[in-house]
Amino acid sequence: MSHHVLLAGTSASLAGRLAAHRLAAPDRPSLLLLLAARSRPTAPGPDTATLRTFVLDSAPGTAPDDPGDRLRVLRLDPDALAGALAAETADEVWCVTPGLDPDPVRAACADSAVAGALLAALPALRTARYVHVGPSGAEGKDRAAPPRPYRELERATVESCLAHGAAWRVLRTPPVIDAAAPLLGECPAGPHHLLGALCSVRSEITDRVPDWFQHHPLRVAGLGGRGLPLLPAGRAAEWLWDAAGPPGLPDGFATLPQPVPTPLEELLPRAGAVYGIDLRPVTGRDGFTAAERLLDLRLDLVRSAAVRFGGSAADGAAEALSVAAQWELFGAVRENQDRAATQTPPQGPTRTVEVAGAPLTLFEVGTARTADQAPLVLINALGQGHGFLDRLARRLAAHRRVVSWQVRGTDPDLPPWDIDHQLDDLRAVLGLTGADRFHLVGWCTGAKIATAYQRRRPGDVASLVFLNATFKQDGLWGGMDTPYERNLEAVCRALARRPEKAERMVGLLAPGSAGGGEKTGPGQDAGVLGVLSQALAEEVRRPFLAPEKLLRYARQLVDLWTLDTAQQAPAVEVPVLFVGSEFDAISSPARARAAARCFPDARYAELAGAGHYAPHDRSAPVAELITEFVRAPERITREVAHPEIRWGVEAPGQEHNPAREAAS
């Protein structure tokens, strides 16, 4: 008789490997795997075909039949799980909620939604046996216990199973490391945070200076007396399968043994070598460069997940992963990180339409998840090409339909193109989408255009997002200009008075080197993080290539500075997200913070170590901020709490940083 099993979880890695073990069991069950995980822009989750292949490839041994005939796979949002369960029955249910999302608050929310839906459906499922898998936490000062919601889930599991007469087992597992995790859209706590930090810092720096790491080591502090347990996911799944035991096993709890931790002082240089980074442990952070401070921030989660040495050894600790196995596993993770990086959607198609008697180029990528899902409309900076926003658009496309267009007004075949013309172009683009409401995302000068449009047609706009916004305005917020803004204003106003000077000023202010090592404040030096990405070398010169282009660009800016956004902002009733950068040497972060205080429902996030081109250089965290904001603006500061993101509009150094506070 077939044994019908339902396995639902938030981790494709662990749930998939457990499904493989259950599928290969002698009773030859039919199995439904429900991956209930919300895909993130930083790491899009697998589709059902990829997950199915992963499960079948992970099955231990060989089966006499085709196990694929007994496997169904569904992938859905955690909030949709209850509806999917309504049509199912299962003799045996596995709930796999190990808290693997990099953000602990978001992880707890998703895991609670999955476990709650399964427990609520127990009577209708007619389940005889229930297995709950969650994160472990040993008693004692040397180990950190999991967040309280996970212990509450365990209590709810036991109570529900007792109430409905189902046999139960509660299993606890330490964080795992899985070479397949990058391809499955996961970054489990501990080892993967380490490898993810190294991968992201290396990518961000070599995008600017490809051979930089051949000449520059990175110092790392705060490693002494700490280590990371390395538990391969395949081994964890095997142990969990054994701990669940046969159907007749008495109800109860079981905790997997945690491997003996490997000291971070040994682990980091080894992992760094895999990424071509010379990592050097030091005792203090004095004199850290911007690049070293960025890596230090991204390693905060690693230090918080590490085990302190010096306490009593845990009973039943497993043998540490060998050095040779570490090299092999780290190399496999990096290889799959590189593969995953190529899996973002390709650049979307372009189409040209006629608007106001002249051609207008549209860029579109992604699709709406539901018929009523509002598109994201990216508003580029005046005079700029789409290259600045291409990476961001492709990351956002995994979750939403994304629309943009080539801003107009610097080409000599058009009449003068003022603010009203820009707003008309935006209205035409929105009309071409066929949607009724939109989330407007304005970069640089696009923020003022987005605000003006919201005041013109408030019913069209669901929310506003401002990226590295410039709110420069005649007669307001004086003294907040960056050096670049002061120079640009002088040139633009001079050209407005004496247009014949355009010939002499071409190329004078192309900001290709404006951020390169430029000091943006007392003691602040961006170093290599201020060097322009090589991919943007041509894009930044677009408005400065010819006298006529420069003249028209200058007139557009002078016109934009007359727009009174401060007067418009208090009437904006939709949620607003500001995203600024610590090292923005083009648009004043101080002015953006001042502008944020004018909007009734605004929140401000600053990216540590980032510059003006953060939508390109930091496309992953920027896309995550946008995606989570438009999904649930009221929860954004809790659900996106990375150490490199500082929340608030307070003076520099006083920002609220939930992740930092939690780690301390």
**Residue 281 pLDDT class (50, 70, 90 cuts):** very high
- Helix (H/G/I), strand (E/B), else coil: 89: coil
> What whole-number distance in Å separates Cα of residue 490 and Cα of residue 209?
32
> What whole-number distance in Å separates Cα of residue 312 and Cα of residue 38?
38
DSSP state of 403: E
Give the global pTM. Answer: 0.90
> What whole-number distance in Å separates Cα of residue 19 and Cα of residue 53?
12
More confident residue, 462 or 305: 462
pLDDT of 370: 75
> What whole-number distance in Å separates Cα of residue 240 and Cα of residue 102?
22
**Residue 521 pLDDT class (50, 70, 90 cuts):** very low
pLDDT, tens digit, for every residue of 327-363?
999 999 999 999 988 877 777 778 999 998 899 999 9
Is residue 251 classed exposed, middle or buried when 0-12, 13-18 and 19+ CB atoms within 10 A define those classes? middle
Q: Which long-range contacts (CB under 8 A, 24 or more apart) does 66-73 make?
A: 67/23, 67/24, 70/2, 70/23, 70/28, 70/29, 70/30, 70/31, 71/19, 71/23, 71/30, 71/31, 71/33, 72/30, 72/31, 72/32, 72/33, 73/32, 73/33, 73/35, 73/48
> What whole-number distance in Å separates Cα of residue 533 and Cα of residue 92?
53
pLDDT of 156: 95
Task: Name the nearest CA neighbour of 53 among 231, 232, 180.
Answer: 180
> What whole-number distance in Å separates Cα of residue 149 and Cα of residue 147?
6
More confident residue, 220 or 109: 220
> What whole-number distance in Å separates Cα of residue 158 and Cα of residue 580?
46
Say what percent of the chain tops pLDDT 70: 90
Task: Name the nearest CA neighbour of 530 among 586, 481, 593, 487.
Answer: 586
pLDDT of 137: 62
Is there a contact between 543 and 384 (Cβ–Cβ < 8 Å)? yes
What the block records as the tokens of 311 is: 């306490």
pLDDT (average), residues 590-606: 96
Strand positions, DSSP E, 305-344: 307-308
pLDDT value at 102 more than 80:
no
- Please give the backbone phi and psi of residue 386, each rounded to the nearest 5 degrees, phi first: -75, -10
pLDDT value at 3 more than 90:
no
Is residue 61 classed exposed, middle or buried when 0-12, 13-18 and 19+ CB atoms within 10 A define those classes? exposed
Q: State how far the alpha carbon of 50 is from the alpha carbons of 33, 70, 183, in Å.
A: 13, 17, 9
pLDDT value at 117 more than 50:
yes
* Strand 92-96 versus strand 129-135 pairing type: parallel
**Residue 524 pLDDT class (50, 70, 90 cuts):** low
pLDDT value at 34 more than 90:
yes
Task: Name the nearest CA neighbour of 98 among 16, 168, 20.
Answer: 16
Which residue is associated with the tokens 């920002």?
A: 655
Average pLDDT across the chain, whole number: 88
pLDDT, tens digit, for every residue of 143-198?
344 557 889 999 999 999 999 999 999 999 988 999 999 999 888 888 999 999 99
Encoded amino acid at 435, one letter: A
Lowest mean pLDDT among 22-26, 167-171, 613-617: 22-26
Q: Which residues pair with 8 in a beta bridge?
A: 34, 95
Lowest mean pLDDT among 17-21, 36-40, 165-169, 649-653: 649-653
pLDDT value at 631 more than 80:
yes
Lowest mean pLDDT among 104-113, 174-183, 224-233: 104-113
> What whole-number distance in Å separates Cα of residue 106 and Cα of residue 656?
18
The domains located in the chain, with CATH, are 4-255 (3.40.50.720), 350-480+561-663 (3.40.50.1820)
pLDDT of 78: 84
H-run or E-run covering 466 = strand 461-467
